[in-house]
Structure 1
Amino acid sequence: MNTAAAFADFRTYPLISALTAVQTLADRVQVTWADGRISPFHYQWLRDNCPCPLCVYTVTREQVLEIVDVGQDLIPSQVHIDADGCLYVDWQEGHISRFDPGWLRAHAYDEESRAERRASKPKASLWRSDLQLPVFEYSELMTDTGALRQWLLAVRDIGLTQVRGVPTEPGSLKLIAQRISFIRESNFGVLFNVQSKADADSNAYTAFNLPLHSDLPTRELQPGLQFLHCLVNDAEGGESIFVDGFAIAQALREEDPESFQALCEIPVEFRNKDRHSDYRCLAPIIALDALGQVAEIRMANFLRGPFDASVDDMPRLYRAYRRFIEMTREARFRLMQRLNPGELWCFDNRRTLHARNAFDPATGARHFQGCYVDRDELLSRILVLQR
């Protein structure tokens, strides 16, 4: 439907149900849909969301109206459903608003509509050691937007994917990461080389085993996605290990709710320091979103500072911390696989904890390259591809 409401967004909104009746009340209108649902819309909300070219700039689709610039006691002089099926509101101030029924239904805030939207939001698919790893081909991801969309949905919902057939020339990783968006630079560079070296500024650049962790928990915002691309892997050992941090958090919530609560409430400081930088962040190990769902895991024992909690909280924190790490070591959660040249991991760094077994550099070369892309870029790319 081509109405003024089209200016409100770059997306289109299908007509789920037509408007059949509208009733004006003291501070709102109440509309009835063809499927029987009833949705109230306050006058303040309708005026605030007027999609006309005077209220929304048609080029950027961004609002120019600020609600404080219209009267607080908004009253329409006329409200009806017009010939196009739109909600037509003629305000006493002389302004006219028309609302596309598809857009209006998509943003209705009666309880049934809100519950419907919450139910339709993407949900994390929790996994354990028996995960059927999603595997994708590099050539398809570089040329086929359908394959690209499926890959990004797997990264979003499962949090761990593998790509095969990637060129093994140094720097090749940049091309596939940029199929999502720009790369996030850190103090380790745009692309970082994971190799054993004598002057290492991180345990990642040694041959040691690395326990399960998220990268850069020392930052206020941990990188969203991490890529690890294998160029050479002739050394013995060095297998990759992954666990779904969300699955562990959910199991902890069910099996030991007191420990879960402690890790959500008591902040822990993580530190990343070398000769030229010193990053520190104080935050809980488990972060919840606005709806109370697990949104982030922040963990790297080798980057953790001494606990700074109250005398009463210290035993509670140690009990919860020990239990969380114990769970990451349980076979039911762990997936282990060796990465071969031309393969890469792409995973949600704020969800999927990763580890590496020790390797023997005397038995052969081992060279990985890595980079980061923020989670926001992944979600934005998916939405654009879906439109």
Structure 2
Amino acid sequence: MNTAAFADFRTYPLISALAGVQDMDDHLLVRWADNRLSPFHHQWLRDNCPCPQCVYSVTREQVLEIVDVPQDLAPDAAHVDAEGCLSVAWQDGHLSRFDPGWLRAHAYDDESRAERQACKPKARLWHSDLQLPVFEYQALMTDNNALLQWLLAVRDIGLTQVRGVPTEPGSLKLIAQRISFIRESNFGVLFNVQSKADADSNAYTAFNLPLHSDLPTRELQPGLQFLHCLVNDAEGGESIFVDGFAIAEALRREDPQAFTSLCEIPVEFRNKDRHSDYRCLAPIIALDASGQVSEIRMANFLRGPFDASVEQMPRLYQAYRRFIAMTREPRFRLMQRLNPGELWCFDNRRTLHARNAFDPASGARHFQGCYVDRDELLSRILVLQR
């Protein structure tokens, strides 16, 4: 069927056919074959016209700006055409045709919006009993379906392990680039996690690192972090993880005032060495537009002195202490030693990670790491799902 074009590279299945349309004062009321009713305002329809005059067919990006259309523009006629599309003839002579699959996918009646909200991916919260998702390097490098399953686990669970990774330095770059380009920082494109005398971060020492997110000192923390084990002969150094979202939701239930304080009172994080000085002031818990936890920002060893009002300061300390204490509770903590040829890939803005102290005199320990932004992960998933 030769249906209308739409301004996207995705396809939209026909969930329900268009059964009829009625012109109202400022909108068209569409009736679907399953008897759902969806109002579409005249301005919304004109704004989303997918014709080549309104959308450049090469980039599928909009050319029309709604301000160039009269605010009171109305249809002369509207009907469901022979190909099942919604056809709208406007008073100024313009013609718009809407694919029924696309139109249903973007309908904004209450039922349709609730349906879309229910279908959105949701974080799967986990505790110490997590069945760790494990993937094989070779499959991820050659099979796009395996790659998609890995990326979905990273998105929804926030912690994965990959095994069978080559142990030559630089091998990490190849698998990270299966997602997208690597985000460079002042630590480099790939950074070496080793104990060294002139360390510019506590990560490059042998003592324990408490649970933290990397680079909370940046306006945008890296989305994904990779840690690839090349050598691990030293005693100690086990990796520890907690689901920061699970802790935040437990805090919301168990101590709502502490949760609100960590959402509302900003904290400054600082990362300074001889050549750079990064600082970011932001709350420890960030919420998205729907009130769901979307980010945890935490690294006690990078935290500046609290700068809050006299009234807020006791409340901030109480909430901060409670959150740190919860990250130490066994119910949340997963601990595992990483072996050569294995790597962690986790959501750095969700999954807090730590490392036990290790003894550098007992053997060599060499990890390599890198970052990829969360946007790149989500984009890659959508492209693989097309």
Q: Same fold (TM over 0.5)?
A: yes
The DSSP-based 3-state class of the residue aligned with 2:5 is helix
Question: Any idea what SS the aligned residue of 1:250 has?
Answer: helix
Q: Following TM superposition, where does structure 1 have runs of at least 4 consecutive aligned residues deviating by more than 3 angstroms?
A: none
Contact 1:225 1:375 (8 Å CA) reproduced: yes
Q: Using the alignment, how far apart are the partners of 1:321 and 1:328 within structure 2?
A: 11
Matches of residues 152-163 of structure 1 in structure 2 within 5 Å?
A: 152-163=151-162
Q: Distance in 1 between matches of 2:235 and 2:333?
A: 20
1:166-181 to structure 2, matched below 5 A, reads 166-181=165-180
| Structure 2 residue matching 1:9: 3-state secondary structure | coil
* TM-score, length-scaled by structure 1: 0.99
Letter in structure 1 aligned against 2:187: F
Contact 1:31 1:40 (C-alpha < 8 Å) held by counterparts = yes
Alignment of 1:266-285 (within 5 A): 266-285=265-284
Aligned to 2:44: 45
2:325 is the alignment partner of 1:313: no
Distance in 2, matches of 1:317 and 1:194, equals 33
Per the TM alignment, residue 165 of structure 1 is displaced from its structure 2 partner at its CA by 0.2
* SS of equivalent to 1:346: strand
Question: Residue deviations 1:246-265, cap 9 Å, x none?
Answer: 00000000000000000000
- 1:106 match: 105
Q: What's the C-alpha RMSD, in Å, of the aligned pairs?
A: 0.5
Aligned pairs (5 A) from 1:62-101: 62-101=61-100
Helix, strand or coil for the counterpart of 1:320? helix
| Cα offset, 1:21, TM superposition | 1.1
Q: Which residue does the alignment assign to 1:222? A: 221
Percent identity between the aligned chains? 87
Deviation at 1:105, TM superposition (A): 0.2
Residue 256 of structure 1 corresponds to which residue in structure 2? 255
What are the superposed Cα offsets for residues 293-341 of structure 1, whole Å, 9 maximum, x if unpaired?
0000000000000000000000000000000000000000000000000
Give the structure 2 partner of residue 239 of structure 1. Answer: 238
1:5 alignment partner, SS class: coil
Give the superposition deviation at 1:65. Answer: 0.3
Q: 2:60 and 2:3 mapped to 1: Cα distance?
A: 14
1:46-76 per-residue CA deviation (whole Å, 9 max, x = no partner) reads: 0000000100000000000000111110111
Is the Cα contact below 8 Å between 2:170 and 2:190 reproduced in 1? yes
Distance in 1 (CA, whole Å) between partners of 2:174 and 2:181 is 10
Counterpart of 1:303?
302
Q: Distance in 2 between matches of 1:261 and 1:70?
A: 44
Please tell me whether the aligned partners of residues 5 and 103 of structure 1 are also in contact (alpha carbons under 8 angstroms): no
For residues 218 and 255 of structure 1, the distance between their equivalents in structure 2, rounded to whole angstroms, comes to 29
Tell me, in whole angstroms, the C-alpha distance in 1 between the residues paired with 2:4 and 2:99: 8
Deviation at 1:4, TM superposition (A): 2.9
- Inter-partner Cα distance in structure 1 for 2:2 and 2:233: 60
Q: Check whether the contact 1:263–1:321 (CA below 8 A) recurs between aligned residues.
A: yes
CA distance in 2, matches of 1:385, 1:59: 20
Question: Counterparts of 1:156 and 1:25 in 2: how far apart (Å)?
Answer: 43
The alignment of Structure 1 onto Structure 2 pairs a total of residues equal to 386
- 1:3 deviation in Å? 2.5
Deviation, 1:2, is 3.5
Q: Output one character per residue of 1:358-377: Cα deviation in whole Å (capped at 9) or x when no partner.
A: 00000000000000000000
Deviations, residues 242-296 of structure 1 (Å, cap 9, x unaligned):
0000000000000000000000000000000000000000000000001100000
Contact 1:228-1:370 at 8 Å conserved across structures: yes
Question: Matches of 2:167 and 2:368 in 1, distance apart?
Answer: 10
Which residue is 2:3 aligned to?
A: 3
Q: Counterpart amino acid of 1:200? A: A
Q: Is the 8 A contact 1:126 1:158 kept in 2?
A: yes
* Cα displacement (A) at 1:101: 0.5
Distance, in Å, in 1 between the alignment partners of 2:184 and 2:8 is 31
Q: Which residue of 2 aligns with 1:192?
A: 191
Give yes or no for contact 2:4–2:85 (8 Å, CA) kept in 1: no
The aligned residue for residue 56 of structure 2 is 57
The unaligned stretches of length 5 or more in structure 1 are none
Kept after mapping to 2: 8 A contact 1:215/1:222: yes
Task: Check whether the contact 2:2–2:83 (CA below 8 A) recurs between aligned residues.
Answer: no
Q: Mind listing any 5+ residue stretches in structure 2 that lack a counterpart?
A: none
Aligned match of 1:338: 337
CA distance in 2, matches of 1:293, 1:26: 37
Q: SS where residue 45 of structure 2 aligns? A: helix
Any conservation in 1 of the 2:226–2:344 contact (CA below 8 Å)?
Answer: yes
Task: Report SS of the residue matched to 1:4.
Answer: coil
Q: 1: CA distance between counterparts of 2:129 and 2:17?
A: 46
Rounded Cα–Cα distance in structure 2 between residues aligned with 1:254 and 1:73? 48
Question: Matched residues in 1 for 2:117 and 2:228: separation?
Answer: 36
Q: How far does the alpha carbon of each residue in 1:53-102 deviate from its partner, in whole angstroms, 9 at most, with x for none?
A: 10000000000000011111011101000001100000010000000000
Q: Distance in 1 between matches of 2:178 and 2:74?
A: 49
Q: Determine the structure 1 residue equivalent to 2:264.
A: 265
Letter in 1 for 2:14: L
3-state SS of 1:230 partner? strand
Amino acid at match of 1:273: K
Structure 2 equivalent of residue 213 of structure 1: 212
